[in-house]
Structure 1
């Protein structure tokens, strides 16, 4: 059995015995189902497959735990409006057995992570991603919370520059700052903010292994209302280079929004690369690839 490993300094102890005990206490109807740890590169939640149709999601950090109630509530509203499946919460766990936070049980969604940078993604995949983004942006925002990401870029200026300082010798800092300052200067769009996913990275999209088409979008912990530019990070994080123009045309954004999207991708990648080097190879390698694509 693969042993779960910690990624963060403030992460509680989470293992098979803890999850099995919580299920026995709170969801006895499912406690007899096979339970197995799902080895993944996710950084927000630890996953345990429960039988064939369910998955237990255990937040790793206080920030991830704080997202759980809102994510449960809003997924029920967002799901019917979106063109591909999204997580469906079926159980709301509470603290217990020394575990301090709320946790969730969702229905399992089949799919594989997208391959990135191989040139093998089919052209319709870019259209699928654009269709998802545009559908999300159209959902009614009445009563919706502010997105964790999606505010103006200016509040990220200091941490982004600090991350680039820590990456001296790893990335071209001068080129990164030129891109960053262009993004900071790009005007905000006219019109109200929209629903955004906020974290369209490779680990949060699932692909049909047979067709290569988008099968699902998961992990809505960052979701809320904000600047649509943040969802354009998918162009550099997930899509092969040959599909970026297809996605941009399909999603239909203006030049300023695209420029802010590049800024979001740079800021997120710089912070991830500086944090996850030596902690999580998948996240660090992904962020390094994004920086390379942005800086060319």
Structure 2
């Protein structure tokens, strides 16, 4: 990680500009004259370094087996290509794969750099134009064929009750930080929501940091390596992470979400947000603040708050 950053994870890998410069210049001499600089983001998976103006190197932050990481990078690259085919907005493309060296122990990747400003939880919270762009994105992703595949991961996108153990950890760690009693009560309702329908193709992580905007328009979609089949409600987290109530109503109406699907979208946003505030409070204030703002939207929403059965 950059020398000035506080580690977000146990066994987080060290990475800095000098190390990146040596790796890039040695393995990709075509970029020997390019400026290398760290890009500060709220991301939690990769350290990002610009290579000149057109590319970015991405270095996994968590320690792992190099062979496993290489396979995961290859899988992500394939998923990115699949998403690019159906996405109506620009997406990055992998242009090179790096190998370990100079003290960095894992494979890494180089992708194209997209212009635009990173979205924020509140910047376009009242924008109906942005809400409609999000609908355009979701419709296009959902229209892609699953090829008969279904969600097989262990995280968000499958069965809500599978998150019970993690939710209990989050409730315990959030005592004194959040209204845990009310949040526990809401989870007892969320976890029992019925399925919203068959799996559809999904980005699977539509947080603000993974979307680029210009003015009130969506202009790019990042971190596309998770593209795959999942609960049709999963990508609805975007509405809870970035839209206030009126813009959410526009989003819901344009997408024609039924009650179950809409509530499951809130449930997946809840699962994601519960793990952000306490876990990243010291090491990544931006992600911690995202967790609080998303939970605030959920708790303040009249329809969702009415589900609290205490």
Per the TM superposition, whether the score is higher than 0.5 is yes
What is residue 261 of structure 2 aligned with on the other side?
257
1:246 partnered with 2:250: yes
Matches within 5 A, 1:1-296: 5=5, 6-62=7-63, 65=69, 67-117=72-122, 121-142=126-147, 146=152, 148-191=155-198, 193-208=199-214, 211-296=215-300
Shift in Å, 1:88: 1.0
Q: Secondary structure at the match of 1:267?
A: helix
8 Å contact from structure 1 (residues 126, 246) kept in 2: yes
Shift in Å, 1:240: 3.0
User: Normalising by the residue count of structure 1, what TM-score does the alignment of the two structures yield?
Assistant: 0.91
Shift in Å, 1:118: 5.5
Q: Give the direction of change, closer, same or farther, for the CA distance of 1:67–1:129 in structure 2 (3 Å limit).
A: farther
Q: Which runs of 5+ in 1 are unaligned?
A: none
Distance (whole Å) between structure 1 residues aligned to residue 79 and residue 4 of structure 2? 29
Q: Give the direction of change, closer, same or farther, for the CA distance of 1:13–1:20 in structure 2 (3 Å limit).
A: same
Q: Secondary structure at the match of 1:8?
A: coil
Shift in Å, 1:229: 1.4
8 Å contact from structure 2 (residues 156, 268) kept in 1: no
User: Normalising by the residue count of structure 2, what TM-score does the alignment of the two structures yield?
Assistant: 0.87
8 Å contact from structure 2 (residues 39, 48) kept in 1: yes
Deviations 1:47-70 (A, max 9, x none): 111111111111111479574221
Query: Over aligned residues, Cα RMSD in angstroms?
Result: 2.1
Shift in Å, 1:227: 0.6
Deviations 1:111-162 (A, max 9, x none): 1122433666531110101110121111122286745531111110111122
Shift in Å, 1:194: 1.5
Deviations 1:152-183 (A, max 9, x none): 11110111122112212322222212321222
Distance (whole Å) between structure 2 residues aligned to residue 62 and residue 149 of structure 1? 22
Which deviates the most, 129-138 or 167-176? 167-176
Distance (whole Å) between structure 2 residues aligned to residue 284 and residue 242 of structure 1? 24
Q: Give the direction of change, closer, same or farther, for the CA distance of 1:227–1:104 in structure 2 (3 Å limit).
A: same
Shift in Å, 1:9: 2.2
Distance (whole Å) between structure 2 residues aligned to residue 96 and residue 142 of structure 1? 38
Which deviates the most, 89-98 or 63-72? 63-72
8 Å contact from structure 2 (residues 244, 297) kept in 1: no
8 Å contact from structure 2 (residues 277, 291) kept in 1: yes
Shift in Å, 1:80: 2.1
Q: Secondary structure at the match of 1:228?
A: coil
Q: Secondary structure at the match of 1:264?
A: helix
Q: Which runs of 5+ in 2 are unaligned?
A: 301-310
Distance (whole Å) between structure 1 residues aligned to residue 244 and residue 94 of structure 2? 31
8 Å contact from structure 2 (residues 207, 241) kept in 1: yes
